[in-house]
Each structure stands twice: as structure tokens, then as C-alpha cells.
Amino acid sequence: MTHTSRRQFVQTAAFGAAALAAITAAPAAYARRQDEGDLPGGVGIDGKTPPKATKKLNVLFLGGTGFLGPHTVHYLQQRGHNITLFNRQRRAPQMFQELETLKGDRDPDKDDGLNAIAQQIEAGRRWDAVIDTSGYVQRTCDASADLLKDAADQYLFVSTACVYKNWTEVFHGDEDTPLEQLDDPTTEDVGVHYCALKGYCEQAVEKHFAGRATIVRPGLIVGPRDFSDRFTYWPVRVQRGGEVLAPGNIDDPTQYIDVRDLGEFMVHCIEGQTVGRLNALGPASKLSIAGLLYGCKAVSGSDAQFTWADADWLESNNVQAWVDMPMWSNPKTSGVFTWSNKRAVDAGLKFRPLADTVRDTLAWWATLPEDRQAKLRAGITHEREKEMLKKWHAEHAE
């Protein structure tokens, strides 16, 4: 038996019922694929192929072959827009061979840098919008925005919700919250200063595209083709069934954004020339960690049982939030999952049900090679989970 109080049992039963109700008959969005490099086909939030846009746009896409990029490019194609990709043609070069691709590097000091774009501009080329999913340091974003300021009408930059100062400790913050500042804003140590550097990238874009910049700040991006497994861990682990180590309190908050919902919102913003700073966070209503886990169980139909270990116990046993327990944060830093998405929702951000995200993630996961499925890149290992569950029960025997 799992260690669950009567109050927790009643509440989690309600979560399970709600999750079951969320399952719909909408078709799975992903057909079978052989590896992570292939772009899966997709459908819109309503389960239907999106209609063509009323106006065909010329879009320059900086990147396009990672995680968010392919989903967004595919949606642009479905809407009928003209797309030009700019990237190094190193990652998934087989992807989007039918599209015009300009070869170069975001760093103007490397290889041919931005020369391919500059040559197009010199020849009189213009774009209705630029979508930038690959900017990480101020210097390179400044270079691309400066080059394109007279050759594009709008610049949409994908930033991050962690750009804010003390972002894990601020509760219910919005886009007016001060950004993180660095003593040396010229640093390019992305591994250490990823969040703050995104803020300086925003400033570079807004400097050159004043009044024409769209800054999209997503939270944790999840769904099919997510190489990090930060969300995928839970659907996969719950589908396996059995006793599952679950973190904290059942009503601890969590947030995420389905990669397809984010991509569709970005396209919506350039189609409507929406500008400003927007927190692209979901889901549509507040979600708890229990809601997430019971949603995974409802979709997979597994026999999973959840043992809820409190935050103090997890910390004392070095079971870490984010790393071992993805999509969850301890009470000290749970502000990370409470950021406001009101402006983005008012601007047209929409969300598909959690059940669709879980189902499609599992469908995609099942297409991956066995060696890829053998070891998740996030979450506690199966062996250590068993060890922790055994210890929990020994210490909480009734």
C-alpha cells in the first residue's frame, strides 16, 4: 500500500476523475517515425488541419531544425506562408529540403556569418516577419536585428520565462517584473547565465525594432520531439505502472507549454502583427503536480500508484526538484510555476488539453529506437526510485 492520507486519497481521486474526463477522441497528432531527426506531421488544437491564412507572409526563420523550430515551421507551411530558413545546415539537414535555406552562422565572426542574409538584402529582399528561436547572446542578436531592421516589418524573438529577477521566488508575476541583471552583460557564458542573457537579447531586438518587436517568454516547452525528457519522464514513468515516487504535496503548482501551442501562437502573433512582451505559459487553467500525474495515468491506462513524499524528506535524501522530480519545485522556489499568462491569452494564446499532450508524447516516444528509450535524460532512475520508495516506507510504517 502506498502511504496516502484520507484527505490525499479523496483529493487525488478527484484529480483522477478530472483527468479521465479530459481524454477526448481527437486523433493522435503523430504518425510513426524512425528517429528524433524526422519532423512529425501535426494537427491544430481542435484536431483539424489548420486553414490557410488570409494573407500569405514572407517569413525569415533563424533556426528551424531543433525542437520548437520544426513545429513552428510546419505550422507556417500549413498556413500557406513563404518560408526562408537561415541556419548552419548541420542539425537535421534532411529536414525541410523543400524550403529555401540560407546557410550561415548566427555569430557574425564565424564562417560566413550573416553574409547570406546580407546578400539577399542587398538584392532588395524583404520579409514581413523574422522569427528567431536561436538567439542566446546579446552580440549575435544585436547583429541580426541590426542587419534586418530595414528589411523586415516585425521581429519575433523567443526568450524565456526565467528572464525575470528572482523568478523562482516571485509569485504570480507578470511581464512588468524587473529582469535579471549581470555585472558583465557582455559575457557569453550561456551555461551559467542563460536566463539573464536572454533578457539582453530582448533588449538588442527591441533597440532595432522599436515598436515592431514581439518578445515571447515561454515556460517549460514540452511535447513530441522534446530532447530533454523533462516532461516526457512523467508520461513514460506512469505508463510503466507500479508504485511511483511522487513529489511534494498534491496541490503543488506546475506549468508548461505544449510546443505546438507555442508555435501556433507565434504564427498568430506575426499574422496579426502583435507586438510587446508576452509570457507564453500554460495550461489554460491552474494545474497541480497531482493533476499532471493523474492525467498521465488516465491517458496511459496504467496501474500506477503514487506515493507522495514531502519536500523536506526529498531534500534530506538528495532527491532534487527539476532533476530527479521534473515539473516540480519545492515550496521555496515554487513561484517558478505561478507566472501570469494573461497578456498572452488576451493576445490569442490557446491550449490543447493535457490529455493530448500526454498521448502524443507517448506516441512519439514509442517510435524512438530502443537505445534511446532505454535511458530517460531526466528524472530519477528506476533503481534509485525503488531505493527511495523502500526507505520512505521503512520510515513511515504505520
Of 167, 181, 104, nearest to 138 by C-alpha is 181
Residue type, 76: L
Distances (CA, A) of 184 to 107, 164, 196: 19, 17, 11
User: What average pLDDT does this structure show over 335-360?
Assistant: 96
Average pLDDT, the chain: 89
Backbone angles phi, psi at 288, to 5 degrees: -100, 165
DSSP tag of 337: G
- Cα dihedral 270→276→279→282 (10° resolution): -40
pTM, 2 dp: 0.90
pLDDT digits (tens, 9 = 90+) for 49-107: 889 999 999 999 999 989 999 999 999 999 999 999 999 988 777 889 999 999 999 99
User: What average pLDDT does this structure show over 359-383?
Assistant: 96
Among residues of the chain, what percentage have pLDDT more than 70? 88
Instruction: Judge whether 162 and 103 are in contact, CB under 8 Å.
Output: no
Provide the pLDDT for residue 47.
Answer: 61
Residue type, 15: F
Backbone angles phi, psi at 100, to 5 degrees: -65, 130
pLDDT digits (tens, 9 = 90+) for 204-237: 999 999 999 999 999 999 999 999 999 999 999 9
Name the pLDDT band for 35 (thresholds 50, 70, 90).
very low
Place of cell 514540452: 222
Distances (CA, A) of 253 to 288, 331, 344, 384: 4, 10, 20, 25
Q: Is pLDDT above 90 for 119?
A: yes
Provide the pLDDT for residue 22.
Answer: 41
Q: Is 398 exposed, middle or buried (0-12, 13-18, 19+ CB in 10 A)?
A: exposed
pLDDT digits (tens, 9 = 90+) for 316-329: 999 999 999 999 99
Q: Is pLDDT above 90 for 12?
A: no
